Chain A
Amino acid sequence: MKYLPTIGLETHVQLNTRTKIWCGCKVDSSAEPNTHVCPVCMGYPGSLPVLNAEAVRKTVQTGLLLGCKIGLRSKHDRKSYFYPDMPKNYQITQYDEPLCLGGSLDIEVNGVKKTVHINRIHLEEDVGKSTHLRGTSGVDYNRAGTPLMEIVTEADMHSEDEAFAYLTALKRILQYGGVSHCNLEQGNIRCDVNISVAEVGSKTLGTKAEIKNMNTFRGVHRAAAYEIKRQIRAVETGTPLVQETRRWEDDQGMTTSMRSKEDAHDYRYFPDPDLAVITLTEAQVDAWRADLPELPEAKRLRFVEELGLPEYDAGVLVADVEVADYFEAVCASANGNAKSASNWVMTEVMRVLSERGQGASELNVSADALGKLILLVDKKVLNNSKAKEVFAVLLEEGGDPDAIVKDKGWAQVSDSSALESFVNQVIEENPSVVEDYRGGKGAALQFLMGQVMRLSKGKANPKMVLELLKERLA
């Protein structure tokens, strides 16, 4: 008997707005606990929420990027449950009239393309962060009131690989949209995984379990794989499954039960009377649509068609929006030499980023400096190997390529009389190699080239050296 797992994801994404969703407190999870709080986000008596318009824009733009229908009328509701990290003991969320409905995201797993449908995106508030200390508990409310988007998929995925691919693709869109910092370590993206298993061909889904609050994609993959196996084993052995909420125990590599459906909360949703209904106009939505950033696929096509990059290069560069932006800036500074810019970014830059675990925006070689470096090569002021040395200096010390070249005296020697004397010296000092070359050993020429470069301290114009050598040895 074969089983088909079915997976749906609810992904919570912290928006990167400057301030919180209901008050003017700064969003800053790295600050000292309870330093970015006020009567509103602490749930003090008499305080009232005022909706952050930026959070609405970013949620709607995410919806547009995912092809959602935008609700021109939407509202906020209260979801009641008691927990110390929730200042009001109700969460303001959107129950039945969310900002975005429908939509989809294309993914690819092992070369097979498929579409994951989005059910809805709603805008809500994040809660505080509980810490359990020895013998006591503490809550940091800095996070409380951070705007949170919940992106809910249909139950469209059928393997842990598809869930992983969906999250990866979603993260890329969110980064491209500039709506979230997408830093998983800081909990910017967290998700709940709904999983059930049914016999292949069955018209109904099996009993589902929801794994709560996953904060790594790798964890989702492992947890889903475990849960699928657990449920199949249960079905095969005739063990009844209960609808329940489960927790992923990362170190043990297993899920455990948190609570069953019978103990599920009755959230008692009702419209929040403190907040007006949100009404958007078509014109507003159109303006936000016009303001959308370019998506990876469109960017890839443009790199190929307008910049003349090979498909491969374009694909590599657009995978990360920061890298793509950096590349475009380098290209502009290098007077549009796209291929050289691409070569530099794909090799030196991406190597350094991966070694250092940095994003392109954090690199201390500015795109402008790298573009200038490329120009120096184009103008034959530098050869490639010296250019890499300049890059290394830029990486360690920063600065301006022109100044570095000048300072270090690294400008390429293209003066033919100087080069001739190097060539003559090398021919005189290596008679046997010269014999080998004349006897037909092509590789001998490379050795002689190397000797000339050594004498010139790497500054000789390699092209001219090659021509001179050939001329003299002919």
Chain B
Amino acid sequence: MNFNSKVTIALRKFFKKYGRIILVVFVIWLIIFLINQYLKKMPKQSSMLNTYTPDSPIIEKGGSVPKRYIENINLTVEKYFNYCNDKNYEQAFNLLTDDCKSYVYDNDISIFQQYVDNIFNTKKIYNLQNYSNVDGTYIYDMMILDDIEATGTTGGYEPYKEKIALKRIDDGFKISNQGYIENKDCNVVSEDENIKITIKSKDISYRKEGYNVTLTNKTDRYIVILDNTIREEITLNLGDQKRKVTNYSNASLILNPGETKNEVFIFDKFYDDQKNPQEISLENVRILENYGIDVENTVDNANRMYSFNISLK
């Protein structure tokens, strides 16, 4: 047997023994090679770092805007903004909630028109950022600014920011602007032998709550609720803290005999702070026989001084 025949036989034996294994290894390698080539040719997905997440709330406690509402909310705001930009006052006004029309604009479109003319003095652009969400009310920061892409900020760069709230009404969304949220019924009545207090509702803004209060003096004497002689005269109890009334720093609240007054007690309170108002306290109700310029000290001259609490629960 010559050398060539020996080699041929050896190769045959080798491939007979290991041929299948070699083939399997080769096939696996080929598959991996082809998959690799295919993946190389696929377009790369761009995953740039980006901090712009307009639909993620800044304050997350109240959860996110449901995905099914995002498009509708964005379209509503876009429509409202374009109406304002085009000075289409009536159509923009119609996208506001009834509460907002009433509280912010006194149901008077000319007041809304003044607001629009003041903000939209030139063509504007806007951007939205979801801020927080509370019980189906979606609060956004709305930034309104000049078309800075077209101007390059030539002539100034002063964005105007306000909070807007979107609420689902009749299968669509309506807007409350200028930080106003809604009016909520309270229907609370509290009285004693001297006074009767009725709190019909409260107007809620993002930063404050205004309680619509009716006070009746049931006596034939004077009742001093507030005259800024005592540190805390009207407070809102939030459970873990008390807030002073903010809109009487230069005013007094005195009821003449038999008199009824309609007042608004405004307190600082963030809409999304998750605190529940417990009661409003008239901390130092003073009952006086006489009241006038000659009675300076309503504390010393009071026949009776006591605290009157109105439960809000």
Q: Do A and B bind each other?
A: no
Listed in ascending order, the chain A residues whose CB lies under 8 Å from chain B are none
